[in-house]
Amino acid sequence: MEVFLSQLFIGLSVASMLLLVALGLTFTFGQMNVINMAHGEFVMAGAYTTYVLQTSVFGTGAVTLAFGLSLPLAFLVGGVLGLILEFTLIRRLHGRPLDTLLVTWGVSLMLQQLARDIFGAPNVQVKAPSFLEGGITVAGVSMPYTRLFIIGLVVVALLAIWFYLSKLPAGRRMRAVVQNRDLAAASGVRTPHVDRLTFFIGSGLAGVAGVAVTLLGSIGPTLGTNYIIDAFLVVIVGGLGQLRGAIVAAIALGLANAYLEYWTDASLAKAAVFALIVVFLQFRPQGLVVTRRRGLA
Amino acid sequence: MATMAKLFPAGSGRGAFLVRFTLAAAALLLVAPALLNDFRLNLLARYLCLAIIAVGIGLAWGQGGMLVLGQGLFFGLGGYAMGMHMKLEEAAALPSGPQLPDFMTWSGVESLPWLWVPFRSAAFAIAACVLVPMIVAAVLGTLIFRQRVRGAYFAILSQAMAAAFVIVLIGQQGLTGGTNGLTNFRSFFGLQLSNPDDKRLLYLFVAVVFLAVFLIARQLVRSRYGKVLVACRDAEDRVRFLGYDPTRVKVLAYAGAAGMAGLAGALYVPVVGIMSPALLGIVPSIEMVIWVALGGRTVLAWAAAGAIIVGWARTDLSERFPSGWLYAQGALFIIVIAFAPKGLAGVSEELQRRVRSLLSRRRSETPAPERVKVAA
C-alpha cells in the first residue's frame, strides 16, 4: 500500500512536469499544426532566467525574491523567444508541418549551442527558495515541498488557461481558430494575430516550466531534449489542442511510468510506456479527445 | 519477361543514367582508392555507410512522405547484430576463460545471455542485420499506418522509438555494453581490422554494397510500386479510393528503409570499430534526415550525396571550429528546409535549366518547363 501511494505521488509529480511542458505544445500544435522542437529550448531559457536572476541580479541573499520574480520573467522570456520564432520562420512555413519540425530543430540546436557559449557546457545548480526546503509525510509517503509546488503551479496554470479560453474574448477567438481556421477567418477573426498570441502564450508556458525544472535538479544546455519527446507524446495521446485530453494523457503517462519503473526498471519502463502508446493508438488513433470534423484529413 | 519490363521500365534518360552510374562507380571503386590515403579512405567508407541510410530515408521520406526521425533504431539493430557476432567470434578465439565478450566479464555476467546465443552463427547474424530491422519496422509500421496515423504524429512516434531503444540499450548494461556500447573489434570475417590492406578491402566491399543498395532503391522508385508510393505521399486518400491499400505500400517502403539502415549499421561496425547508444539517439537520428534534405529529398542519388557531403563537412569543420559546427548545422536545417526544400538537387536542376535556356535562347523561344512543387 505504501509503495502504491508513494509511486502514485511520484507519478503525479512526473505528470505535472510533463503537463507543464506539454501545455504550450498542445496549443501551438493544435491550433497552428506546428511541431515546435525548440519548445524544449524555451524551457531551458526559462530555467536559465531563474539562474541569472539568482546569481547575477539579486545575488544569493534574496533567493526567494529572485525565484518569485523569475516566474513572470521566464514567461516573458519564453514568450518573446516564441514570438521571434513565429515571426521570422514559422509564419513562412504555413501548411508544411513536417518542415516546421525540422526547421525548429535547427533553431533548437543553435539555441543549445548559444546557451553553451554563454553559460558553459557543465550543468549549473539553482538554489530553491527556503520556503520550499523539506517536505511533509502523509500516510508514510514523503512529499517534498518542491514537488508539491510544481503540482500547484500546474493547477494554477490550468485554471488560468481555462479562464482565458472560456471567459475572455481573445480566448474565444483562439478556440474559433482551433475549430475551423477558415471559418474563423471568414467571420472576421484576424487569424495571424491569434496565431502570434497563441505562440506567445504557449512559449511563455514553456518558460514557466523552465522555472519548475530548476527545482528538480541542476540545469544544462540540453535539458530541453529530455522533455520534448515525452511532451509530444502527451499531445499525441491527448488529442490535438485539447486541454482535457492533455491533462488525462499527462497523468496516465506519468503514472504508467512510475508504476512500470517500480515493477521493472527505469529503462524497460520507458520502452513499455512507448509500447502502450502504440497499442493505445490502435483504439484511439486521434487521441483521447477527438474534435469531429467532416473532412478526411 | 513482363515482370522484368515492369521492374525495369524503359524510361527516358536511361542511357544518361548508365553513364552517370558508371562514372560514380568508377570514382568510388577505382579513383578513390588510388587517390586517398588509408585514413581518408576509411572515412569515405564511413560516409558510404551513412549514405546507405540516406538512400533509405530518401525512399521513405522523399518518395513515401513518411518523415522517419528514428532511423537510429534500425541502424542500431543492424549494428548491434553484427557487433554481437564479431564479439562472439573473438571471444571464441580466446585461449581460456568463460569465452565471453570482454564487457560482460566487467559487468559480472557469467554465462552467455540467451539473446546472444544465436549470434554465434555468422549466417544468422548477417540475416539478422537486415531482417530484424525490417520485421520491427513492418510490425510497428503496420500498427501505426493501419490506423491512419501519419504526418507529424508518425514523425514523433518514430523519434520516440529511437529514444526508447537508446534508453533500453543504456539500461541493460550486461547485455549491451551500456553507454560504451560494443568496441574493441579486431576482425571481420577473417579481415584483420588493424591491417591497412584489409581495411582497403573492406572499403571496396562497402562501396559495392552501397552501389547495389542504390540500384535496388532506384529500381523500386521507378517501378509501378514507386508510382503508387509517390501517390500515397501526395494524396493518400485518393490512392485508397482507387482500391490500393496505402498501409501496405507505406509499410513496404518503411521496412525497406529500415533494412537499409540495418545494413548500414552492420557495415559501420567493422569500418568505424564502435557501435554505441550515442550514435543512435534522437539527435543522431534527426541528423540523418538533414543529409537527405540537403542533398534533395526526392532524388535518391542526391540524398546519398548529401550524406557524404555533410559527413565530410562535419569531420572537417568540427575539428577546426567545434562550436561553430553546431551553429552551422542548425543553420543548415533552417536554410535548407525553409528556403531550399529541394536541396542541392533543386539547385543543380535550376543551374542546368539556366544553362539550357541560355543555349537555346538564340534558337527559339521555348517555354520554361513546368516546375514540380515538393510536397511537404
Compute the nearest-CA separation of A22 from chain B (Å).
14
Question: For A271, which of B151, B167, B289 is closest by C-beta distance?
Answer: B167
Separation between Cα atoms, residue B191 and residue B201, nearest integer Å: 8
Q: Best interface-test mutation with A: which of B247, B318, B337, B373 has the largest number of A CBs within 10 A?
A: B337
What letter would DSSP give residue B365? Answer: -
For residue A202, give every residue at least 6 positions away whose Cβ sits within 8 Å of its Cβ, in sequence order, or none. A23, A24, A25, A26, A27, A28, A36, A39, A82
CB contact under 8 A, B330 and A270: no
pLDDT given at position B97: 66
Is the CB of A91 inside 8 Å of chain B's CB atoms?
A: no
Lowest mean pLDDT among B109-118, B298-307, B361-370: B361-370
Query: Strand, helix or coil at B364?
Result: coil
Separation between Cα atoms, residue A92 and residue B339, nearest integer Å: 9
Question: For B333, which of A92, A106, A267 is closest by C-beta distance?
Answer: A106
User: Which chain A residues are closer than 8 Å to B159 by Cβ?
Assistant: 229
Give yes or no for residue B1 having a pLDDT over 50.
no
CB contact under 8 A, B143 and A103: no
Give yes or no for residue B360 having a pLDDT over 90.
no
Is the CB of A271 inside 8 Å of chain B's CB atoms?
A: yes
CB contact under 8 A, A270 and B147: no
Residue A245: CA count within 13 A, CB half-sphere: 23
Write down the mean pLDDT value for chain B.
Answer: 85
What letter would DSSP give residue B192? Answer: E
Is the CB of A297 inside 8 Å of chain B's CB atoms?
A: yes
Chain B CA closest to residue A107: B330
Give yes or no for residue B269 having a pLDDT over 60.
yes
What confidence category does residue B292 fall into, taking pLDDT thresholds of 50, 70 and 90? very high
pLDDT given at position A262: 80
Residue range B249-255: average pLDDT?
94
Separation between Cα atoms, residue A50 and residue A58, nearest integer Å: 11
Q: Where are the alpha helices (DSSP H) in chain B?
A: 2-7, 14-26, 32-35, 38-57, 71-92, 102-106, 122-146, 152-171, 173-176, 196-222, 224-241, 246-272, 282-295, 300-320, 322-339, 343-361
Question: For A106, which of B144, B159, B332 is closest by C-beta distance?
Answer: B332
pLDDT given at position B130: 93
Residue range B290-309: average pLDDT?
90
What confidence category does residue B259 fall into, taking pLDDT thresholds of 50, 70 and 90? very high
CB contact under 8 A, B237 and A93: no
Q: What ranges do the domains of chain A cover?
A: 2-283
Compute the nearest-CA separation of B241 from chain A (Å).
12
User: Which chain A residues are closer than 8 Å to B155 by Cβ?
Assistant: 35, 98, 101
Architecture of the domain whose range is A2-283: Orthogonal Bundle (1.10)
Question: For B326, which of A35, A113, A267 is closest by C-beta distance?
Answer: A113
Listed as ranges, residues in chain A with pLDDT below 70 are 1, 59-61, 241, 290-297
CB contact under 8 A, B286 and A278: no
pLDDT given at position A297: 47
Pairing between strand A141-144 and A135-138?
Answer: antiparallel
Lowest mean pLDDT among A109-118, B71-80, B305-314, B335-344: B335-344
Chain A CA closest to residue B142: A282
Residue B28: CA count within 13 A, CB half-sphere: 26
Give yes or no for residue B146 having a pLDDT over 50.
yes
Is the CB of A139 inside 8 Å of chain B's CB atoms?
A: no
Chain A CA closest to residue B154: A236
Residue range B23-33: average pLDDT?
87
Instruction: For chain B, give the percent of residues with pLDDT over 70.
Output: 91
CB contact under 8 A, B155 and A274: no
CB contact under 8 A, B143 and A112: no
**Cβ neighbours, 10 Å, residue B17:** 14
Chain B CA closest to residue A35: B152
Among B261, B250, B243, smallest CA distance to B225 is for B250
Separation between Cα atoms, residue A81 and residue A206, nearest integer Å: 11
Give yes or no for residue B326 having a pLDDT over 50.
yes
Separation between Cα atoms, residue B57 and residue B300, nearest integer Å: 9
For residue B190, give every residue at least 6 positions away whose Cβ sits within 8 Å of its Cβ, in sequence order, or none. none
CB contact under 8 A, B330 and A110: yes
Residue range B354-371: average pLDDT?
69
Chain B CA closest to residue A97: B152
For residue B333, give every residue at least 6 positions away whose Cβ sits within 8 Å of its Cβ, in sequence order, or none. A102, A103, A105, A106, A107, A109, B290, B293
What letter would DSSP give residue B334? Answer: H
pLDDT given at position B262: 95
The 3 state secondary structure assigned to chain A is: CHHHHHHHHHHHHHHHHHHHHHHHHHHHHHHHCCCCCCHHHHHHHHHHHHHHHHHHHCCHHHHHHHHHHHHHHHHHHHHHHHHHHHHHCHHHHCCCHHHHHHHHHHHHHHHHHHHHHHHCCCCECCCCCHHHCCEEEECCEEEEHHHHHHHHHHHHHHHHHHHHHHHCHHHHHHHHHHHCHHHHHHCCCCHHHHHHHHHHHHHHHHHHHHHHHHCCCCECCCHHHHHHHHHHHHHHHHCCCCHHHHHHHHHHHHHHHHHHHHHCCHHHHHHHHHHHHHHHHHHCCCCCCCCCCCCCC
Q: Best interface-test mutation with B: which of A41, A111, A233, A270 has the largest number of B CBs within 10 A?
A: A270
Instruction: For chain B, give the percent of residues with pLDDT over 90.
Output: 33
What residues are paired with B275 via a beta bridge?
B182
What confidence category does residue B374 fall into, taking pLDDT thresholds of 50, 70 and 90? low
Is the CB of A276 inside 8 Å of chain B's CB atoms?
A: no
Rg (CA), chain B: 22
Query: Strand, helix or coil at B188?
Result: strand
**Cβ neighbours, 10 Å, residue B113:** 13
User: Which chain A residues are closer than 8 Å to B338 by Cβ?
Assistant: 89, 92-93, 99, 103
Among B288, B282, B279, B290, smallest CA distance to B77 is for B279
Residue range B214-226: average pLDDT?
92
CB contact under 8 A, A92 and B159: no
- Global pTM reads 0.86
CB contact under 8 A, A267 and B167: yes
User: Which chain A residues are closer than 8 Å to B140 by Cβ?
Assistant: 278
User: Which chain B residues are closer than 8 Å to A278 by Cβ?
Assistant: 140, 143-144, 157
Q: What does the pLDDT look like over B52-101, one tens digit per residue?
A: 999 999 999 999 989 999 999 999 999 999 999 988 888 877 766 667 77
Question: Is residue A124 exposed (0-12), middle (13-18) or buried (19+ Cβ within 10 Å)?
Answer: middle
What confidence category does residue B8 fall into, taking pLDDT thresholds of 50, 70 and 90? very low
Is the CB of A102 inside 8 Å of chain B's CB atoms?
A: yes
